Structure 1
């Protein structure tokens, strides 16, 4: 079975998060996405310290699809330089991981 990742990014609105999530799942780069928010973020941006509300997206995918999902997110994200990061899923229910695997396998229609 493939290795798996949880890929994350954030948007400034719920609507943007839903649109981005749908675009990724529709092309089977992720089996599913959880949208969490709003969350409060503290950050440095263009040399200034700031805080703001964001909507976090958590994509479930195969590790071998990471380059494709990253490219898709960077191409379709409303921000010029969004966070796109991934952490390994080190364990999970077998049936769930099989679903992620079969849903996101390259060439799946």
Structure 2
């Protein structure tokens, strides 16, 4: 298993995505997050085909923080069954990965 992950979800509005991003970064569940959009999503939902405009949220974290990050997203996401998925970060600059390693976790003394 890799040490670092990029975790993604999507929301209906920019404001929802920004609020989720703020909450995971302030809570140190992710080192950083980007909100991308709007984008068009094409999907099946509850047996029906659909399309819609969404805002994607991309978060960088340590693999050992994933369970807490996922739980937070599921608890605070406005949708009942949102996408929460992760892909490994297989390479990155040493300085960037050190930043993720030290930022996505409790501060010393917490």
Q: Which residue of 2 aligns with 1:18?
A: 18
Residue 29, structure 1, aligned to residue 29, structure 2: yes
SS of alignment partner, residue 44 of structure 2: strand
Q: For 1:95, what is the secondary structure of its paired residue?
A: helix
1:95 aligns with 2:95: yes
Q: State the TM-score, normalizing by the size of structure 1.
A: 0.95
Deviation at 1:99, TM superposition (A): 0.3
Show structure 1 runs of 5+ residues with no match.
Answer: none
Shift of 1:95: 0.3
Which residue is equivalent to 1:72? 72
Spell out, residue by residue over 1:26-69, the C-alpha distance to the aligned partner (whole angstroms, 9 max, x if none).
Answer: 11000000110001010011111000000000000000100000
Query: How far, CA to CA, are the matches of 1:86 and 1:60 in structure 2?
Result: 10
**Displacement after TM superposition at 1:74 (Å):** 0.1
What is the Cα deviation at residue 104 of structure 1?
Answer: 1.1
Structure 2 residues not aligned, in runs of 5+: none
Hey, what's the Cα distance between the residues in 1 that align with 2:17 and 2:104? 20
Aligned residue pairs total 107
Q: Which runs of 4+ in 1 moved over 2 A?
A: none
Query: What is the alpha-carbon root mean square deviation over aligned residues?
Result: 1.0
1:78 partner SS: coil
